[in-house]
């Protein structure tokens, strides 16, 4: 099955206990984003709106893994509702390596994370994905999350967002992500409530809001966000062309997302059958 691959882990099988022991606060802080656009240099003009720091929400967190370069890598991911209550969604180019783990509502420097550290099992991505040309329209991925030490499933602990097809190119969205500490010294979640437009010449969405530096690839774009349940309907993720934004100065203020259509829903269907 070209859509599925086992995330590489050491022997014996990788568990949530192993993930919690491996991903210390220091390792998390040292994690770098995957290759993506460069960050905005000091002095670049600020966008009309800028993401604000906040405490985060349980269904969105940080995806950590160790890449082929033996360095720790950091993306954003979110829990999506599924029959087995064990799925997360991120950008395809995040491509988790070994020792992959998901940390919901990541708390920088905490000795114990508020919702734990969870081991990643299988990853599901479209074989045609990429960050250039038409392949960038397929820059999304799902991954299974192993139960915790008490046998609980991730969605039962954090809640989950409903996956929806993108209803059109113009939407009101809430976007939540985690820039790396190297790009944002506060090392906290950021949130922006904004509107999307079409990225010309592509099947992708575009939004303008500053503060989405490296590390925010995979950040969910949520419609109908409910402040009480702190969940919504996810219709996109930061990703797509160039890994989710324009190259060069000011890249943190403009972000892209693939348009979720048949390919996304088919991939979700495959992933949601996995335990």
pLDDT at 43: 42
What pLDDT is attached to residue 155?
98
For 94-107, the pLDDT digits (tens) are 988 789 999 999 99
Q: What confidence score (pLDDT) does residue 42 get?
A: 40
Distance CA 56, CA 47 (A): 22
Residues 6+ positions from 67 with CB-CB distance below 8 Å: 34, 73, 97
User: What pLDDT sits at residue 28?
Assistant: 87
Q: What is the pLDDT of residue 5?
A: 58
Residue ranges per domain, the chain? 4-271
pTM for the structure as a whole: 0.90
Place of tokens 């734990």: 116
CB atoms within 10 A of CB 17: 13
The pLDDT score that the predictor gives to residue 221 is 99
Instruction: State how far the Cα of 176 lies from the Cα of 18, in Å rounded to an integer.
Output: 27
* Angle subtended at Cα 5 by Cα 203 and Cα 32, rounded to the nearest 5 degrees: 70
pLDDT at 173: 98
CATH of 4-271, one of 2.40.10.10, 3.10.310.40, 1.10.760.10, 3.40.250.10: 2.40.10.10
The 3-class secondary structure across 195-216, one letter per residue, is ECEECCCCCEEEEECECCCCCC
Structure tokens at 167: 């209803």
**What are residue 195's DSSP bridge partners?**
172
Residue 186's pLDDT is what?
Answer: 92
For the chain, which ranges sit under pLDDT 70? 1-12, 35-48
Q: Given this model, what pLDDT does residue 35 score?
A: 62
The sheet with strand 231-237 has its strands ordered as: 52-54, 189-195, 172-177, 220-226, 231-237, 162-163
| DSSP 8-state assignment for residue 48 | S
Q: CB–CB of 243/257 below 8 Å?
A: no
pLDDT of residue 76: 98
Question: Of 219, 240, 216, 235, whose CA–CA distance to 135 is shortest?
Answer: 240
């Amino acid at each position: 099955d070209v859509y599925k691959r086992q995330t590489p882990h050491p022997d014996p099988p990788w568990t949530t206990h192993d993930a919690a022991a491996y991903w210390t606060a220091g390792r998390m802080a040292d994690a770098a984003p995957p290759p993506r656009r460069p960050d905005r240099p000091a002095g670049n003009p600020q966008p009309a709106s800028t993401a604000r720091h906040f405490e985060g929400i349980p269904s969105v967190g940080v995806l950590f893994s160790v890449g082929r370069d033996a360095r720790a890598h950091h993306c954003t991911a979110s829990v999506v509702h599924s029959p087995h209550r064990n799925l997360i969604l991120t950008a395809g180019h995040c491509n988790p390596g070994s020792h992959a783990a998901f940390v919901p509502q990541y708390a920088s420097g905490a000795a114990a994370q508020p919702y734990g550290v969870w081991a990643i099992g299988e990853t599901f991505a479209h074989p045609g994905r990429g960050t250039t040309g038409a392949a960038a329209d397929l820059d999304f991925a799902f991954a299974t999350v192993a139960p915790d030490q008490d046998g609980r499933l991730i969605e039962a602990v954090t809640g989950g967002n409903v996956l929806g097809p993108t209803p059109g190119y113009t939407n009101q969205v809430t976007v939540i992500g985690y820039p790396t500490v190297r790009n944002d010294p506060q090392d906290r979640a950021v949130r922006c409530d904004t509107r999307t437009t079409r990225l010309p010449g592509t099947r992708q969405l575009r939004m303008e809001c500053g503060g989405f530096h490296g590390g925010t690839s995979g950040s969910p774009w949520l419609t109908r966000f409910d402040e009480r349940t702190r969940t919504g309907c996810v219709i996109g993720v930061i990703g797509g062309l160039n890994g989710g934004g324009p190259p060069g100065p000011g890249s943190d203020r403009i972000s892209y997302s693939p348009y979720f259509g048949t390919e996304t829903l088919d991939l979700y269907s495959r992933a949601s059958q996995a335990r």
